[in-house]
Amino acid sequence: MTLIKSISGIRGTIGGTVGDNLTPIDAVKFAAAYGTWIKQQRNKEHYKVVVGRDARISGEMIQKLVMNTLVGMGIHVVDLGLSTTPTVELAVPMEHADGGIILTASHNPKQWNALKLLNTKGEFLDGDEGAKILEIAESDAMTFADVDSLGKITKNKAYIDLHIIEVLDLPLVTVKPIEERRFKVVVDGVNSTGGIAIPLLLERLGVDVIKLYCEPNGHFPHNPEPLKEHLTDLSEAVKKHKADFGIVVDPDVDRLAFMDENGEMFGEEYTLVACADYVLSRTPGDTVSNMSSTRALRDITVKHGGMYEASAVGEVNVVKLMKKNKVVIGGEGNGGIIYPESHYGRDALVGVALFLSLLADKNMTVSELRKTYPNYFMSKKKIELTPGLDVDGILKEIEKRYQNEQLTTIDGVKIDFPESWVHLRKSNTEPIIRIYTEAKSQAEADALADDFINEIGEIAKI
Protein backbone atom coordinates (compact mmCIF):
# COMPACT_ATOMS: atom_id res chain seq x y z
CA MET A 1 0.00 0.00 0.00
CA THR A 2 1.19 3.51 -0.72
CA LEU A 3 1.26 7.14 0.38
CA ILE A 4 2.57 9.64 -2.18
CA LYS A 5 3.35 13.16 -1.03
CA SER A 6 3.91 15.56 -3.90
CA ILE A 7 3.58 19.23 -4.78
CA SER A 8 0.11 18.48 -6.18
CA GLY A 9 -1.20 17.06 -2.90
CA ILE A 10 -1.25 13.85 -0.95
CA ARG A 11 -2.51 10.59 -2.45
CA GLY A 12 -2.66 7.14 -0.97
CA THR A 13 -4.54 3.97 -0.21
CA ILE A 14 -7.08 3.88 2.60
CA GLY A 15 -6.22 1.99 5.79
CA GLY A 16 -2.93 0.64 7.06
CA THR A 17 -0.08 2.35 8.83
CA VAL A 18 0.31 6.07 9.52
CA GLY A 19 2.83 7.61 7.11
CA ASP A 20 2.62 4.64 4.75
CA ASN A 21 -1.03 5.00 3.72
CA LEU A 22 -3.72 7.68 3.61
CA THR A 23 -4.89 7.19 7.19
CA PRO A 24 -7.12 9.63 9.12
CA ILE A 25 -4.02 11.00 10.83
CA ASP A 26 -2.31 11.68 7.50
CA ALA A 27 -5.45 13.39 6.15
CA VAL A 28 -5.68 15.63 9.22
CA LYS A 29 -1.97 16.45 9.19
CA PHE A 30 -1.96 17.45 5.54
CA ALA A 31 -5.21 19.44 5.83
CA ALA A 32 -3.70 21.32 8.77
CA ALA A 33 -0.55 22.07 6.79
CA TYR A 34 -2.70 23.43 3.96
CA GLY A 35 -4.74 25.51 6.41
CA THR A 36 -1.52 26.92 7.87
CA TRP A 37 -0.30 27.82 4.38
CA ILE A 38 -3.64 29.51 3.61
CA LYS A 39 -3.24 31.72 6.67
CA GLN A 40 0.31 32.63 5.67
CA GLN A 41 -0.84 34.04 2.34
CA ARG A 42 -2.85 36.94 3.77
CA ASN A 43 -3.38 38.36 7.24
CA LYS A 44 -7.15 38.74 7.55
CA GLU A 45 -9.95 38.19 10.01
CA HIS A 46 -11.81 35.39 8.23
CA TYR A 47 -10.59 32.64 5.90
CA LYS A 48 -12.70 30.45 3.64
CA VAL A 49 -11.95 27.15 1.82
CA VAL A 50 -14.22 25.27 -0.60
CA VAL A 51 -14.26 21.47 -0.23
CA GLY A 52 -15.85 18.91 -2.56
CA ARG A 53 -15.40 15.22 -3.31
CA ASP A 54 -16.00 12.50 -5.84
CA ALA A 55 -18.15 9.49 -4.90
CA ARG A 56 -15.42 7.21 -3.54
CA ILE A 57 -16.44 4.99 -0.65
CA SER A 58 -13.86 6.69 1.59
CA GLY A 59 -14.84 10.18 0.44
CA GLU A 60 -17.32 11.10 3.15
CA MET A 61 -14.94 9.99 5.91
CA ILE A 62 -11.97 11.88 4.48
CA GLN A 63 -14.07 14.97 3.78
CA LYS A 64 -15.32 15.18 7.36
CA LEU A 65 -11.77 14.83 8.68
CA VAL A 66 -10.48 17.54 6.34
CA MET A 67 -13.33 19.99 6.93
CA ASN A 68 -13.26 19.67 10.70
CA THR A 69 -9.49 20.10 10.71
CA LEU A 70 -9.96 23.41 8.89
CA VAL A 71 -12.77 24.36 11.29
CA GLY A 72 -10.37 23.64 14.15
CA MET A 73 -7.97 26.16 12.61
CA GLY A 74 -10.65 28.86 12.53
CA ILE A 75 -11.23 28.52 8.78
CA HIS A 76 -14.76 28.60 7.40
CA VAL A 77 -15.64 25.79 4.98
CA VAL A 78 -18.05 25.75 2.04
CA ASP A 79 -19.10 22.10 1.72
CA LEU A 80 -20.06 21.19 -1.86
CA GLY A 81 -20.53 17.52 -0.95
CA LEU A 82 -20.54 15.32 -4.05
CA SER A 83 -19.00 17.45 -6.76
CA THR A 84 -16.46 17.43 -9.59
CA THR A 85 -12.92 18.74 -9.74
CA PRO A 86 -13.75 21.50 -12.26
CA THR A 87 -16.85 22.46 -10.24
CA VAL A 88 -14.75 23.04 -7.12
CA GLU A 89 -12.25 24.99 -9.23
CA LEU A 90 -15.03 27.30 -10.43
CA ALA A 91 -16.57 27.61 -6.95
CA VAL A 92 -13.39 28.96 -5.30
CA PRO A 93 -13.35 32.35 -7.08
CA MET A 94 -17.16 32.51 -7.12
CA GLU A 95 -17.11 32.18 -3.31
CA HIS A 96 -14.18 34.64 -3.03
CA ALA A 97 -12.50 31.84 -1.09
CA ASP A 98 -8.86 31.55 -0.08
CA GLY A 99 -8.48 28.10 -1.60
CA GLY A 100 -10.09 24.75 -2.24
CA ILE A 101 -9.60 21.06 -1.61
CA ILE A 102 -10.89 18.30 -3.87
CA LEU A 103 -11.04 14.83 -2.35
CA THR A 104 -10.42 12.49 -5.25
CA ALA A 105 -7.78 10.12 -6.56
CA SER A 106 -8.87 10.79 -10.15
CA HIS A 107 -8.53 7.61 -12.23
CA ASN A 108 -7.02 5.48 -9.44
CA PRO A 109 -9.02 2.43 -8.20
CA LYS A 110 -11.49 2.67 -5.30
CA GLN A 111 -8.96 1.92 -2.53
CA TRP A 112 -7.21 5.23 -3.31
CA ASN A 113 -8.10 8.75 -2.28
CA ALA A 114 -6.30 12.09 -2.28
CA LEU A 115 -6.34 15.73 -1.27
CA LYS A 116 -5.89 17.92 -4.37
CA LEU A 117 -5.15 21.52 -3.42
CA LEU A 118 -6.19 24.80 -5.04
CA ASN A 119 -5.14 28.42 -4.65
CA THR A 120 -7.45 31.43 -4.42
CA LYS A 121 -7.92 31.42 -8.22
CA GLY A 122 -9.25 27.86 -8.10
CA GLU A 123 -6.10 26.57 -9.80
CA PHE A 124 -3.68 23.88 -8.67
CA LEU A 125 -0.74 24.98 -6.58
CA ASP A 126 2.62 25.46 -8.27
CA GLY A 127 5.78 23.65 -7.26
CA ASP A 128 6.96 26.20 -4.71
CA GLU A 129 3.55 26.38 -3.02
CA GLY A 130 3.22 22.62 -2.85
CA ALA A 131 6.75 22.26 -1.49
CA LYS A 132 5.97 24.79 1.25
CA ILE A 133 2.92 22.77 2.37
CA LEU A 134 5.01 19.59 2.49
CA GLU A 135 7.57 21.46 4.58
CA ILE A 136 4.87 22.64 7.00
CA ALA A 137 3.46 19.12 7.29
CA GLU A 138 6.88 17.69 8.15
CA SER A 139 7.63 20.42 10.70
CA ASP A 140 4.36 20.04 12.64
CA ALA A 141 4.30 23.87 12.81
CA MET A 142 0.50 24.06 12.90
CA THR A 143 -1.54 25.95 15.47
CA PHE A 144 -5.29 25.71 16.06
CA ALA A 145 -8.02 28.16 17.03
CA ASP A 146 -9.47 28.61 20.50
CA VAL A 147 -13.07 27.65 21.20
CA ASP A 148 -14.46 31.11 20.38
CA SER A 149 -12.67 31.30 17.04
CA LEU A 150 -13.60 28.00 15.41
CA GLY A 151 -14.67 28.02 11.78
CA LYS A 152 -18.10 27.07 10.49
CA ILE A 153 -19.26 24.68 7.76
CA THR A 154 -21.82 25.92 5.23
CA LYS A 155 -23.36 23.44 2.80
CA ASN A 156 -23.96 24.53 -0.79
CA LYS A 157 -25.40 21.99 -3.22
CA ALA A 158 -25.98 24.49 -6.06
CA TYR A 159 -22.58 24.50 -7.70
CA ILE A 160 -23.03 21.69 -10.23
CA ASP A 161 -26.05 23.61 -11.54
CA LEU A 162 -24.07 26.86 -11.51
CA HIS A 163 -21.25 25.11 -13.35
CA ILE A 164 -23.67 23.91 -16.05
CA ILE A 165 -25.07 27.44 -16.43
CA GLU A 166 -21.51 28.77 -16.84
CA VAL A 167 -20.80 26.20 -19.56
CA LEU A 168 -24.03 26.94 -21.45
CA ASP A 169 -23.22 30.66 -21.37
CA LEU A 170 -19.88 30.21 -23.16
CA PRO A 171 -20.05 32.06 -26.51
CA LEU A 172 -18.85 29.04 -28.54
CA VAL A 173 -21.40 26.64 -27.03
CA THR A 174 -24.18 26.65 -29.62
CA VAL A 175 -27.18 25.53 -27.58
CA LYS A 176 -29.90 25.86 -30.24
CA PRO A 177 -28.09 23.93 -33.04
CA ILE A 178 -27.28 21.17 -30.52
CA GLU A 179 -30.93 20.96 -29.45
CA GLU A 180 -32.01 20.75 -33.10
CA ARG A 181 -29.79 17.72 -33.73
CA ARG A 182 -31.61 15.73 -31.00
CA PHE A 183 -28.58 13.59 -30.19
CA LYS A 184 -28.91 10.29 -28.36
CA VAL A 185 -25.92 9.66 -26.06
CA VAL A 186 -24.90 6.92 -23.61
CA VAL A 187 -23.06 8.20 -20.51
CA ASP A 188 -20.77 6.00 -18.40
CA GLY A 189 -20.36 7.89 -15.11
CA VAL A 190 -18.29 5.09 -13.48
CA ASN A 191 -20.66 5.38 -10.47
CA SER A 192 -19.16 8.69 -9.43
CA THR A 193 -20.07 12.34 -9.75
CA GLY A 194 -19.88 12.35 -13.54
CA GLY A 195 -23.10 10.37 -13.31
CA ILE A 196 -24.69 13.47 -11.78
CA ALA A 197 -23.11 16.31 -13.75
CA ILE A 198 -22.84 15.01 -17.32
CA PRO A 199 -26.47 13.84 -17.72
CA LEU A 200 -27.73 17.14 -16.25
CA LEU A 201 -25.66 19.10 -18.78
CA LEU A 202 -26.81 16.93 -21.69
CA GLU A 203 -30.46 17.20 -20.72
CA ARG A 204 -30.14 21.00 -20.69
CA LEU A 205 -28.86 20.70 -24.27
CA GLY A 206 -31.84 18.66 -25.42
CA VAL A 207 -29.89 15.39 -25.61
CA ASP A 208 -31.61 12.02 -25.09
CA VAL A 209 -29.47 10.50 -22.31
CA ILE A 210 -29.04 6.79 -21.61
CA LYS A 211 -27.35 6.36 -18.23
CA LEU A 212 -24.80 3.61 -17.62
CA TYR A 213 -23.19 3.36 -14.17
CA CYS A 214 -24.43 6.79 -13.13
CA GLU A 215 -25.27 5.94 -9.50
CA PRO A 216 -22.73 7.91 -7.38
CA ASN A 217 -22.03 5.15 -4.85
CA GLY A 218 -18.26 4.81 -5.36
CA HIS A 219 -18.43 1.17 -6.45
CA PHE A 220 -16.57 1.50 -9.72
CA PRO A 221 -17.96 -1.12 -12.15
CA HIS A 222 -14.67 -1.27 -14.06
CA ASN A 223 -11.19 0.22 -13.87
CA PRO A 224 -12.01 3.95 -13.68
CA GLU A 225 -9.32 5.04 -16.13
CA PRO A 226 -11.27 5.78 -19.36
CA LEU A 227 -9.34 3.48 -21.69
CA LYS A 228 -10.70 1.18 -24.43
CA GLU A 229 -10.05 -2.05 -22.57
CA HIS A 230 -12.23 -0.90 -19.65
CA LEU A 231 -15.23 0.21 -21.72
CA THR A 232 -16.77 -2.91 -23.29
CA ASP A 233 -20.10 -2.25 -21.54
CA LEU A 234 -20.26 1.26 -22.95
CA SER A 235 -19.50 -0.06 -26.43
CA GLU A 236 -22.32 -2.60 -26.19
CA ALA A 237 -24.75 0.02 -24.87
CA VAL A 238 -23.99 2.47 -27.69
CA LYS A 239 -24.69 -0.22 -30.29
CA LYS A 240 -27.74 -1.60 -28.49
CA HIS A 241 -29.43 1.81 -28.19
CA LYS A 242 -28.28 2.97 -31.64
CA ALA A 243 -26.82 6.04 -29.96
CA ASP A 244 -25.01 8.82 -31.77
CA PHE A 245 -22.03 8.34 -29.47
CA GLY A 246 -20.90 7.44 -25.96
CA ILE A 247 -19.30 9.53 -23.23
CA VAL A 248 -17.10 8.34 -20.38
CA VAL A 249 -15.44 10.40 -17.66
CA ASP A 250 -13.15 9.56 -14.78
CA PRO A 251 -14.42 9.70 -11.16
CA ASP A 252 -13.74 13.43 -10.65
CA VAL A 253 -14.85 14.48 -14.16
CA ASP A 254 -11.71 16.23 -15.42
CA ARG A 255 -10.96 13.58 -18.06
CA LEU A 256 -13.23 12.92 -21.01
CA ALA A 257 -13.36 10.30 -23.76
CA PHE A 258 -15.84 9.59 -26.54
CA MET A 259 -17.00 6.45 -28.33
CA ASP A 260 -18.40 6.63 -31.87
CA GLU A 261 -21.76 5.34 -33.09
CA ASN A 262 -20.20 1.96 -33.90
CA GLY A 263 -18.97 1.41 -30.35
CA GLU A 264 -15.37 2.22 -31.30
CA MET A 265 -13.20 4.61 -29.30
CA PHE A 266 -12.85 8.08 -30.77
CA GLY A 267 -9.50 8.10 -29.01
CA GLU A 268 -8.88 9.73 -25.65
CA GLU A 269 -6.05 11.74 -27.21
CA TYR A 270 -8.44 13.10 -29.82
CA THR A 271 -10.84 14.68 -27.30
CA LEU A 272 -8.54 17.70 -27.10
CA VAL A 273 -7.80 17.57 -30.84
CA ALA A 274 -11.51 17.80 -31.73
CA CYS A 275 -12.30 20.54 -29.21
CA ALA A 276 -9.25 22.52 -30.33
CA ASP A 277 -10.29 22.12 -33.97
CA TYR A 278 -13.64 23.70 -33.14
CA VAL A 279 -12.25 26.52 -30.97
CA LEU A 280 -9.47 27.39 -33.45
CA SER A 281 -11.99 27.55 -36.30
CA ARG A 282 -13.82 30.29 -34.37
CA THR A 283 -11.02 31.99 -32.45
CA PRO A 284 -7.64 31.57 -34.19
CA GLY A 285 -4.70 31.31 -31.84
CA ASP A 286 -2.13 29.00 -30.29
CA THR A 287 -2.32 25.76 -28.29
CA VAL A 288 -0.43 23.87 -25.59
CA SER A 289 -0.49 20.25 -24.43
CA ASN A 290 1.96 18.16 -22.48
CA MET A 291 4.88 16.15 -23.82
CA SER A 292 2.97 12.87 -23.60
CA SER A 293 0.16 14.07 -25.87
CA THR A 294 -0.45 13.31 -29.53
CA ARG A 295 1.22 15.15 -32.40
CA ALA A 296 -2.23 15.55 -33.93
CA LEU A 297 -2.85 18.70 -31.85
CA ARG A 298 0.26 20.28 -33.35
CA ASP A 299 -0.95 19.36 -36.85
CA ILE A 300 -4.45 20.82 -36.28
CA THR A 301 -3.01 23.99 -34.75
CA VAL A 302 -0.67 24.57 -37.69
CA LYS A 303 -3.56 23.90 -40.09
CA HIS A 304 -5.47 26.78 -38.46
CA GLY A 305 -2.40 29.06 -38.64
CA GLY A 306 -1.42 28.81 -34.98
CA MET A 307 1.65 27.82 -32.99
CA TYR A 308 1.91 24.73 -30.76
CA GLU A 309 4.21 24.11 -27.79
CA ALA A 310 4.53 21.20 -25.35
CA SER A 311 4.94 21.52 -21.58
CA ALA A 312 6.11 19.12 -18.92
CA VAL A 313 3.43 16.64 -17.80
CA GLY A 314 1.10 17.88 -15.08
CA GLU A 315 -1.85 20.25 -15.22
CA VAL A 316 -0.01 23.04 -13.40
CA ASN A 317 2.78 22.91 -16.02
CA VAL A 318 0.30 22.98 -18.90
CA VAL A 319 -1.55 25.94 -17.37
CA LYS A 320 1.68 27.86 -16.75
CA LEU A 321 2.72 27.55 -20.40
CA MET A 322 -0.83 28.30 -21.60
CA LYS A 323 -0.78 31.57 -19.68
CA LYS A 324 2.70 32.45 -20.90
CA ASN A 325 1.74 31.83 -24.54
CA LYS A 326 -1.78 33.28 -24.16
CA VAL A 327 -3.30 30.31 -25.96
CA VAL A 328 -6.99 29.91 -26.82
CA ILE A 329 -7.21 26.26 -25.75
CA GLY A 330 -4.94 23.59 -24.32
CA GLY A 331 -4.92 20.57 -22.09
CA GLU A 332 -3.63 17.05 -21.81
CA GLY A 333 -3.93 14.10 -24.13
CA ASN A 334 -5.59 12.06 -21.40
CA GLY A 335 -8.88 13.73 -22.28
CA GLY A 336 -8.28 16.92 -20.29
CA ILE A 337 -9.71 20.06 -21.89
CA ILE A 338 -8.51 23.41 -20.52
CA TYR A 339 -10.45 26.30 -22.03
CA PRO A 340 -9.35 29.69 -20.61
CA GLU A 341 -12.64 31.33 -21.65
CA SER A 342 -14.11 29.23 -18.80
CA HIS A 343 -11.26 28.63 -16.35
CA TYR A 344 -7.72 27.24 -16.16
CA GLY A 345 -8.56 23.67 -15.23
CA ARG A 346 -9.36 20.40 -17.03
CA ASP A 347 -13.11 20.28 -17.43
CA ALA A 348 -15.13 17.43 -18.96
CA LEU A 349 -18.33 19.50 -18.93
CA VAL A 350 -16.72 22.17 -21.10
CA GLY A 351 -15.30 19.43 -23.34
CA VAL A 352 -18.73 17.81 -23.83
CA ALA A 353 -20.34 21.14 -24.75
CA LEU A 354 -17.59 22.08 -27.23
CA PHE A 355 -17.67 18.61 -28.82
CA LEU A 356 -21.45 18.76 -29.27
CA SER A 357 -21.12 22.24 -30.78
CA LEU A 358 -18.55 20.86 -33.23
CA LEU A 359 -20.78 17.93 -34.19
CA ALA A 360 -23.76 20.24 -34.70
CA ASP A 361 -21.63 22.51 -36.87
CA LYS A 362 -20.08 19.74 -38.97
CA ASN A 363 -23.34 17.79 -39.30
CA MET A 364 -21.48 14.47 -39.47
CA THR A 365 -21.23 11.31 -37.41
CA VAL A 366 -18.52 10.85 -34.80
CA SER A 367 -16.76 8.20 -36.91
CA GLU A 368 -16.80 10.57 -39.91
CA LEU A 369 -15.37 13.35 -37.76
CA ARG A 370 -12.54 11.12 -36.54
CA LYS A 371 -11.48 10.43 -40.15
CA THR A 372 -10.88 14.14 -40.70
CA TYR A 373 -7.96 14.16 -38.22
CA PRO A 374 -4.35 12.97 -38.61
CA ASN A 375 -4.09 9.31 -37.71
CA TYR A 376 -1.63 8.54 -34.95
CA PHE A 377 -1.61 5.60 -32.56
CA MET A 378 -0.40 5.63 -28.97
CA SER A 379 0.77 3.01 -26.56
CA LYS A 380 0.62 3.78 -22.84
CA LYS A 381 2.49 1.29 -20.71
CA LYS A 382 4.18 1.31 -17.33
CA ILE A 383 6.78 -0.42 -15.20
CA GLU A 384 6.08 -0.95 -11.50
CA LEU A 385 8.86 0.50 -9.37
CA THR A 386 10.70 -1.84 -7.01
CA PRO A 387 12.69 -0.74 -3.94
CA GLY A 388 16.19 0.33 -4.81
CA LEU A 389 15.51 0.94 -8.51
CA ASP A 390 17.53 4.00 -9.60
CA VAL A 391 15.02 5.62 -11.95
CA ASP A 392 17.06 8.80 -12.44
CA GLY A 393 20.12 6.73 -13.32
CA ILE A 394 18.11 4.67 -15.81
CA LEU A 395 16.79 7.78 -17.54
CA LYS A 396 20.31 9.28 -17.68
CA GLU A 397 21.54 6.12 -19.39
CA ILE A 398 18.69 6.29 -21.94
CA GLU A 399 19.55 9.93 -22.57
CA LYS A 400 23.19 8.99 -23.16
CA ARG A 401 22.30 6.15 -25.54
CA TYR A 402 20.05 8.38 -27.68
CA GLN A 403 22.06 11.59 -27.50
CA ASN A 404 22.15 11.86 -31.30
CA GLU A 405 18.34 11.92 -31.56
CA GLN A 406 16.04 14.89 -30.85
CA LEU A 407 15.81 14.86 -27.04
CA THR A 408 13.72 16.80 -24.52
CA THR A 409 14.58 16.39 -20.85
CA ILE A 410 12.38 18.91 -19.02
CA ASP A 411 10.28 15.99 -17.75
CA GLY A 412 11.95 12.59 -17.88
CA VAL A 413 13.26 11.82 -21.36
CA LYS A 414 11.36 12.29 -24.62
CA ILE A 415 12.92 11.05 -27.85
CA ASP A 416 11.44 12.36 -31.10
CA PHE A 417 12.11 10.07 -34.05
CA PRO A 418 11.05 11.14 -37.59
CA GLU A 419 7.86 8.99 -37.61
CA SER A 420 7.36 8.30 -33.90
CA TRP A 421 8.28 9.33 -30.36
CA VAL A 422 8.75 7.81 -26.91
CA HIS A 423 8.40 9.57 -23.56
CA LEU A 424 9.78 7.97 -20.38
CA ARG A 425 9.02 9.55 -17.02
CA LYS A 426 8.48 8.77 -13.36
CA SER A 427 4.81 9.23 -12.40
CA ASN A 428 3.86 11.96 -9.91
CA THR A 429 0.81 10.02 -8.71
CA GLU A 430 1.78 6.33 -8.76
CA PRO A 431 4.96 4.30 -8.02
CA ILE A 432 5.62 3.59 -11.71
CA ILE A 433 7.65 4.60 -14.74
CA ARG A 434 5.34 5.60 -17.59
CA ILE A 435 6.30 4.64 -21.14
CA TYR A 436 4.25 6.52 -23.73
CA THR A 437 4.87 6.09 -27.44
CA GLU A 438 3.22 7.28 -30.64
CA ALA A 439 3.60 6.04 -34.20
CA LYS A 440 1.74 5.67 -37.50
CA SER A 441 0.24 2.29 -36.49
CA GLN A 442 -0.76 0.61 -33.23
CA ALA A 443 1.64 -2.25 -33.89
CA GLU A 444 4.55 0.17 -34.29
CA ALA A 445 3.60 2.11 -31.14
CA ASP A 446 3.29 -1.09 -29.08
CA ALA A 447 6.55 -2.48 -30.44
CA LEU A 448 8.38 0.77 -29.65
CA ALA A 449 7.07 0.71 -26.08
CA ASP A 450 8.03 -2.94 -25.62
CA ASP A 451 11.53 -2.23 -26.96
CA PHE A 452 12.08 0.47 -24.37
CA ILE A 453 10.61 -1.64 -21.57
CA ASN A 454 13.14 -4.32 -22.47
CA GLU A 455 15.94 -1.76 -22.69
CA ILE A 456 15.07 -0.36 -19.26
CA GLY A 457 15.11 -3.93 -17.92
CA GLU A 458 18.61 -4.44 -19.34
CA ILE A 459 19.87 -1.14 -17.88
CA ALA A 460 18.39 -1.94 -14.46
CA LYS A 461 20.54 -5.08 -14.32
CA ILE A 462 23.77 -3.28 -15.21
Whether 106 is a known active-site residue: answer yes
Rg of the Cα atoms in the chain:
22
**For every residue of the chain, which 3-state class applies, written as one string?**
CCEEEECCEEEEEECCCECCEECHHHHHHHHHHHHHHHHHHCCCCCEEEEEEECCCCCHHHHHHHHHHHHHHCCEEEEEEEECCHHHHHHHHHHCCCCEEEEECCCCCCCCEEEEEEECCCCCECCHHHHHHHHHHHHHCCCCCCCHHHCCCEEECCCHHHHHHHHHHCCCCCCHHHHHHHCCEEEEECCCCCHHHHHHHHHHHCCCEEEEECCCCCCCCCCCCCCCHHHCHHHHHHHHHCCCCEEEEECCCCCCEEEECCCCCECCCHHHHHHHHHHHHHHCCCCEEEECCCCCHHHHHHHHCCCCEEEECCCHHHHHHHHHHHCCCEEEECCCEEECCCCCCCCCHHHHHHHHHHHHHHHCCCHHHHHCCCCCCEEEEEEEECCCCCCHHHHHHHHHHHCCCCEEECCCCEEEECCCCEEEEEECCCCCEEEEEEEECCHHHHHHHHHHHHHHHHHHHCC
- Catalytic residue (choose from 106, 289, 293, 357): 106
Measuring CA to CA, which residue among 333, 354, 347, 448 is closest to residue 402?
A: 448
- Torsion angles phi and psi, residue 432, rounded to 5: -145, 160
Does the CA dihedral 384-385-390-393 come out positive or negative? Answer: positive
**Which residues contact residue 189 at a Cβ distance below 8 angstroms, ignoring those fewer than 6 apart?**
195, 196, 198, 199, 211, 212, 213, 214, 216, 249
Query: What is the Cα–Cα distance from 287 to 254, expressed in whole angstroms?
Result: 19
Active-site residue list: 106
